[in-house]
Amino acid sequence: MQKNPLASKVALVTGSARRIGAEIARTLHQAGMNIVLHYNLSEEGALGLCQQLNHIREHSAVTLRADLLEAESEKILIQQALDAWGRLDALVNNASRFYSTPIGEVTEYAWDDLMNSNLKAPFFLCQAAASALAAVQGCIVNITDIHAERPLRNYSVYCISKSGLLMMTRLLAKELGPRVRVNAVAPGAILWPEGKNTLSEEEKAKIVDQTALQRAGSPEDIAKAVLFFIRDAGYVTGQVLDVDGGRGTCN
């Protein structure tokens, strides 16, 4: 019987208490990995998911809280993950913020908030994790966005931050190779925005109509792409995989 290549390996997934991050954590756990569930404000969701994973397989998940906008928080989080498991094989930079910033209304707060959340924090997490990942020939998967390359009207700062994350992926693939692979997954229409960014049914239908597959995707689609980069893509680095139902080919 062939040994599971991910058995006992460790993945840190940022923003893993809910939505896409939670599904990534479940999928990597199901594949055999031990999981560090990072959260900031969503404590209830993180603790609940951790309990579920540990019920499936004892001592296979831990939660760590960190506000990634605080100075030195990235170093502390990586060290806590290493303290918990003694190793780190994969870092998934999923935590992100998304809200509109129409030109003419952009504030310095919004600029700093989005850039720090979506670009600065992932960069410093990668930097803090680099030596631990290199020690086990690990990998990094960044969750970008199809709008890193195709601008979304009224979301200027968000798009700029995700574009930076895409360049960071390619840059770090070169900087951290050959011992660390760095790739990215770019979701399209997967989960609809919440809160003030909620879309009308008409807006959702228009987006779906722009895809070749004529349907929205699911968090599982993103999680499977992340798993591919971690488990099956040993000779792939510096790449971005659009998971968008063919939306890019139709526009």
Kindly list the catalytic residues.
Answer: 158
Q: Of 113, 86, 118, which is closest to residue 101 (Cα–Cα)? A: 113
Which residues fall within 8 angstroms of residue 72, CB to CB, at 6 or more apart? none
Residue with tokens 């994790």: 129
Residue with tokens 């605080």: 70
Query: How far, CA to CA in Å, does 45 sit from each of 10, 66, 198, 199, 222?
Result: 20, 15, 21, 24, 20
d(CA 68, CA 56) in angstroms, rounded, equals 29
8 Å CB contact between 155 and 100: yes
3-state secondary structure of 183: strand
